[in-house]
Every structure is written in structure tokens, then in C-alpha cells.
Amino acid sequence: MEIYKGDAANDGKLEKGELAKIFVMGKNPGWGAAVSPAELRTGDWIYSAYKADGQTPSGDDIAQCRACHLPLAKQDFVHRYDEYFDRRGK
């Protein structure tokens, strides 16, 4: 997921500014158990965050990623699950 800075335009509406960070989630069998504290385990998902250059870690606390995605067990810990993986077979 790309995170952009918000720039206020003339009329006060928020407009997309520069790319600020890149948040990444990935999963494979065993990944979650290998790196996650048990109480923050979100299945096999692991998390990373980078600055806009894609190379430099952003300094974000990965435990916070887990804590915010943790309540979403019913949709595989993905906030926009229904948009990414349409279950109605459209």
C-alpha cells in the first residue's frame, strides 16, 4: 500500500501529495509463527514499511501494524478484503 502526504488545495480539499511510505504485507506458510509474538499473530502475514525510495526502512513499529490488522481475522486480516478478493464471484 502506498501512503501519500496530504496537500491542502486552494479550496481546502485534501489532494494527494508526494509518496511518503510504502507498507507491505506478505504471507507464506510458517511466516507468521516464525516472526510474530503469539498475541499479535495475524495468521501467516508479515509486515514491512519503507520510505518512498523503497530501500530505507521507515522506522514504523511493526507491532502496531499487527495490532491494527489483528481484529480482522474474519477477512484474513486485510482491511479492504472485499474489494481485493470479491467473494461473490463477479
Given the rule CB under 6 A, which residues bind ligand HEC? 1, 23-25, 47, 49, 60, 64-65, 68-69, 78-80
Q: Nearest distance from residue 71's CB to ligand HEC, in Å?
A: 10
If the CB atoms of residues 10 and 74 are measured against ligand HEC, the closer one turns out to be 74
If the CB atoms of residues 8 and 72 are measured against ligand HEC, the closer one turns out to be 72
**Euclidean distance between CA atoms 19 and 28, whole angstroms:** 28
Q: Nearest distance from residue 26's CB to ligand HEC, in Å?
A: 9
Q: Which of 41, 44, 40, 42 is nearest to 31 (CA)?
A: 44
If the CB atoms of residues 2 and 7 are measured against ligand HEC, the closer one turns out to be 2
**Euclidean distance between CA atoms 64 and 48, whole angstroms:** 11
CB 42 within 8 A of CB 36: yes
Q: Nearest distance from residue 83's CB to ligand HEC, in Å?
A: 8
**Euclidean distance between CA atoms 62 and 67, whole angstroms:** 9
Q: Nearest distance from residue 14's CB to ligand HEC, in Å?
A: 13
